[in-house]
Amino acid sequence: MSPTEPANPPPHYAVITFTAGRPAITAQGPLSPETFHHQFLDHYALGGERYHPGPAWTLHGALLATDGTTVVSVPILTWPAPDGTTRFLCQATDDGTPPALSVLASSESTLLADLAARLRPFA
């Protein structure tokens, strides 16, 4: 790398939501390289079960994360639960392939708080 070549920025993430038809960045922050790898690049093992959205799911937004060379996206889905409230799920797979990140919440604000806790640099 030459002295003038910019270094890759540290890993970071952003949450984009599509509410009211208008995309907006609703959260963003830094990640540690270890967290980026663990949550977005590594395979995961499974000895139980991961969530599945209900049949009436809709796309609410997406989480984007990058380490400067790789960009990963994880959908954020919502669906009505049997109790009439809405569930928010940020998860892409349930078959052991990355990304491993999985967060379920009963509101958007809770989802964003849980994501921030899960992705904070030294989590």
Span 73-102, contacts to other proteins by CB under 8 A:
79-83, 85, 87, 89, 94-96, 102
Segment 42 to 71, residues that bind other proteins, using CB under 8 A: 43-54
Is residue 34 within the footprint of other proteins (CB under 8 A)? Answer: no
Give the residue from 1, 57, 63, 59 showing the smallest Cα distance to 36.
Answer: 63
- Which residues, in sequence order, are CB contacts of 8 under 8 Å at separation 6+? 67, 68, 69
What tokens appear for 59 in the block? Answer: 């796309």
Q: Are 119 and 13 in contact (CB under 8 A)?
A: yes
CA 32 to chain centroid = 15
Binding mask 2-31 for other proteins (x = CB under 8 A): ------------------------------
Q: What Rg value do the Cα atoms of the chain yield, rounded?
A: 16
Only one residue has tokens 């030294």, namely 122
The least distance separating other proteins from the CB of residue 118, rounded to whole angstroms, comes to 8
Beta carbon nearer to other proteins, 10 or 51? 51
Q: How far is the CB of 115 from other proteins (least distance, A)?
A: 11
Which residues contact other proteins by CB under 8 A? 43-54, 79-83, 85, 87, 89, 94-96, 102-104, 106, 118
